[in-house]
Amino acid sequence: MEMIKKGAEAEIYITEWKGRKIVIKRRIKKGYRIKELDEKIREQRTKKEALLMMSARKAGMSVPIIYDLHINNKEIFMQYIDGERIKDVIDGMEEEMQRKICEEIGKSIASLHKNGIIHGDITTSNMIWMNDRLYFIDFGLGMKSRENEDRGVDLHLLMEAFKAAHKNKNLFKWVFEAYKKNFEESKEVIKKVDEIARRGRYMRGVA
Ligand SMILES: Nc1ncnc2c1ncn2[C@@H]1O[C@H](COP(=O)(O)OP(=O)(O)O)[C@@H](O)[C@H]1O
Ligand SMILES: [Mg+2]
């Protein structure tokens, strides 16, 4: 098994399984937690991530297919998305393509929110472009919610992530425009985003 990433929470492996190239996401032990509690937390997060990915797929989004869960090992077996991370490729693209992808991002988030799903970590590192389709991964910090506050936090994070990772301000503007266009409740959510941004500036003492 080849490890492709070791994060704070999980290790990502690429391997073959039943003739398919798959990814195994394994949540790793945290020595600072009591053993029983640590087991429980990792088990819950593993299940939650898989469930959220399955609901996102039901809602018509492109996410990796979940093949199996090995709960004892805190592992999710999922489809390997053999594409490019949006973070690595979008800056170098033609404007027309950038716009197309950003519209896709906005539309996808609208779909998630409409279906009661909060992603929890919407950054361009958690999006993969494969065969002209946008895939979302990494639902480990997500949750089920239809609250505009939670939706606002989701979008605010995306805004901050775009600001930090991509110079071109249009990218994020296109994402928001598409979100607004595709979600009837977007006005309320955007209000929340503004509120959260103001709160943040106030806390940092710059308002
Ligand atoms: N299904 C997948 N297909 C292809 N690459 C993946 C897949 N899942 C994860 N990866 C790669 O591994 C990285 C980390 O996975 P992710 O689920 O985002 O975990 P983390 O919580 O550590 O960010 C991703 O940025 C991506 O490059
Ligand atoms: Mg990630």
Q: Is the pTM of this model over 0.85?
A: yes
In this structure, which ligand is nearest to the CA of 26?
Answer: 1
Pocket of ligand 1 (CB under 6 A): 4-5, 7, 9-10, 12, 23, 25, 64, 78-81, 85, 125-126, 128, 137-138, 140
- Tell me the pLDDT tens digit for each residue of 45-72: 999 999 999 999 999 999 999 999 999 9
- Complete domains list, the chain, with CATH: 2-79 (3.30.200.20), 84-203 (1.10.510.10)
Which of 77, 138, 139 has most ligand 1 atoms within 8 Å of CB, for mutation?
A: 138
Instruction: Render pLDDT for 132-141 as a digit per residue (tens, 0 to 9).
Output: 999 999 999 9
State the sign of the Cα–Cα–Cα–Cα dihedral 51, 54, 56, 58.
Answer: negative
Distances (CA, A) of 140 to 26, 73, 81, 200, 201: 11, 16, 17, 24, 27
Catalytic center residues: 121
CA atoms within 13 A on the CB side of 9: 13
Alpha carbon distance 168, 177 (integer Å): 15
CA quadruple 66, 60, 146, 141: dihedral positive or negative? Answer: positive
